[in-house]
Copies of this chain bind each other. A is one copy, B any other.
Amino acid sequence: MNKAIFSIIGAIIIFSSGVLAQNSQNVDYTKFVNVFIGTGALDANSLSGSNFPGACMPFGLVQLSPDTREYPDDPCSGYDYKDSTILGFSHTHLNGTGCPDLYDFLFMPYGGDKKWQAGSDDGKTKGFRSHFSHSNEKAYPGYYSVVLDDYNIRAEMTATEHCGMHRYTFAKADTYHLIIDLEHTLIKDSPYRYSKIISAQVRVVDNKTIEGYRIVSGWAKLRKVYFRAEFSRPFDSQVMKAGSNEFQNIPVANHSDLKIILNFDQNNNMPLLVKVGISSVSAEGAKENLNAEMKDFNFDGISVQANKAWNKELSCIDISGTARQKSIFYTGLYHLFIQPNNIADVSGNYLATDNSIQNAPDKKHYSTFSLWDTYRAAHPLYTLVQEDRTAGFINSMLRQYKTYGYLPIWQLWGTENYCMIGNHAIPVIVDAFLKGIKGFDYEEAYQAVKASSTTSHKNSPFNVLDKYGYFPEDLQTQSVSLTLEIAYDDWCVAQMAKKLGHEADYKFFLNRSGDYKNLFDKTSGFFRAKDSRGEWINPFNPLEYGGNGGFPFTEGNAWQYLWYVPQDVPSFIDLMGNDQKFVEKLDEFFTLDAKPGDVNGNASGFIGQYAHGNEPSHHVVYLYDFTSQPWKAQYYSAKIMRELYNDQQSGYSGNEDCGQMSAWYIFSAMGFYPVNPANSVYCFGSPQLENATINLANGKQFKVITNNLSTDNIYIQKIILNGKPYQKNYIAHKDIENGGVIEFFMGKTPNKKMATYEKPLMIAGEL
């Protein structure tokens, strides 16, 4: 334990005491949320959390938020806290991703005679940009506002599930304009990203109504996005900017580079309100969404309604802790609940994976499945606090299977983009199945899970795996990461097969889930790449990083991927030698600071080789629970919570990744984490909250009480579950679901008796 570091942290963290215990009925949890967390980077070596500060509803289609970047790339949220100008407000944003897309329909008000700026190399002068200052920003769940200093306009935003509402208040009488930019999109000229606006249309319905759409091929291969904007006051005239042409007062325009500027007479001091319906389906859908959710221009009413909706969702866990902890915790829940996004219209119509339009009977079609990230902790957390929606997520994923042949890998706005590797919809579905979550057809889900593990597709050539027992790097790159991650998915398939009585399948997939062993090199003690002749690929440097192809490891190195056998840690420990050797290797992992020249940009938030800024590391501290030294899980989890999260814009040590970084914190702060995200078991770390009450969907509560918390007291001394001493290093999902109270008693030194506590060794038969 590095005391020097801990004394510094101690000076920062001030634990509050009992006064924070609250009645969840009367609490406004949204007050704890700081929507600016994750809008900047921790340090020069980290990625931004890539979160946006704008207004949205839980799991909604619309995220109405300021864009500070002309063609966003990094941060992918379009907003960087360190920027000083705003380009406008667009209606759709991704939360915490490492790839950019969306940014549909940028609205920007401006005053006077300012001329359009064509943009510059740094992307910071385009359009009708305005300076702004953070001191004039005010934002909370469901609401965002800022003063546009260049024009002295206060811009306020709120949202419903499918719509955004803008309120622009002008400080003085002047000529005012509003531009709607349909060409604003992700970065266009990156060598590995692609954005093309295939076409766009703006139609002037009347002098208070504009409709439009654009067809975009970007990270989502193809989207057609519609809007309908209604204004509280008529515009006097308008100009269409179609490429380099400007057309005055024409009723409709079509162009791939299309903008419309509305000119308003501003002789009175009335604010201008705009309500904007969005649809992934049709112009009619956008209109129906608007009619259903925003009948009038009651901005404050909509804003209160959005905030209430957020408060309801955030009340799923009531905690006591420091202000800092609450801010991180509830902002984390907020980020967790921004997506998956329901892209269906109020009618239930939605864009399917094959780009057809279909209808969801339950009016919900969830997308934005960043599964390589979120299967690890976000989805297990949803099973605890979003049980109903978990079935909705799964039914939505099954719709991809039906039109596309296999489950999502990374699904964005209904379409598959194949980002990252593995088929990690499988653990999500199997976890929900094994936890007994209702609302989806288990047998159909099994067929989807099986098809996704047998129908070869991009980065999943099962024919190769079945032939070699591993992915040879010469036949399939990212081969080590793939072999390990698909072995885990296979274990999941096997568990579902067994429970549903598909015995032959069970044997097949359980057997294939052991394929990871074929890439373990006992000499070096690492998983390594082989070629198709079965030879290790040399030279081998376990510190060397790969990105997203052309190297055996994905966004990491052999050190980080060494730990990926969550399905069978005991066998893995045997493979490594024994408990002692395993612990020594883990210790080395957390202390070996050596870095090669070229570290993948996603790897950040380092503790030795551990990189909390990216997901492959996320379960690793909890592997100590499987060893003779479980207190090191407590040590490192506390250290990460304290050092690699904060309640400022730099709150995350890497991309927030659609709730996964937050889910890690939320679980860990409560004292447990799912090393194997599909075996209904949570391994203990170092609980950091005085109290946490999970309000379960079944009406029961599960309380976590942590006694003797202090800066130094990071080690569990004793555990009481429902009044009885508890000597396990984990808790089972069913013990949480049944409701109850777990009490942790903390101290400043490890309780070495925990070496004898029952380890989280659940295997298939015991689930």
Contacts and interface: CB of A to CB of B under 8 A. Distances in A.
Nearest to A217: B198
A421 to B, nearest CB: 15
Interface string A185-222: 00000000000101101010000000001010100011
A268 to B, nearest CB: 30
Contacts of A217: 196, 198, 217
B196 A404 contact: no
A405 B205 CA distance: 12
A463 B247 CA distance: 7
Interface stretch (A51-59, A170-178, A450-458): A450-458
A199 B221 contact: yes
A136 to B, nearest CB: 39
Contacts of A215: 221-222, 355
Copies in the assembly, this chain: 2
Given A222-B215, A224-B355, A463-B247, A458 B282 contact: no
B458 A255 contact: yes
Given A222-B199, A247-B456, A456-B245, A405 B254 contact: yes
Contacts of A213: 354
A201 B404 contact: yes
A250 interface: yes
Interface residues of A, number: 40
B461 A252 contact: no
A248 B406 CA distance: 16
Contacts of A455: 250-253
A761 to B, nearest CB: 36
Contacts of A253: 405, 455-457
A461 B246 CA distance: 9
A247 B461 contact: yes
A463 B248 contact: yes
Interface in A212-251: 213, 215, 217, 221-222, 224, 240, 242-243, 245, 247-248, 250-251
Given A213-B354, A215-B222, A224-B355, A245 B461 contact: yes
Interface string A56-79: 000000000000000000000000
A356 interface: yes
A416 interface: yes
5 contacts: A215-B221, A222-B222, A247-B457, A254-B404, A254-B457
Which 4 interchain pairs have the tightest Cβ spacing? A252-B405, A247-B456, A250-B455, A198-B222
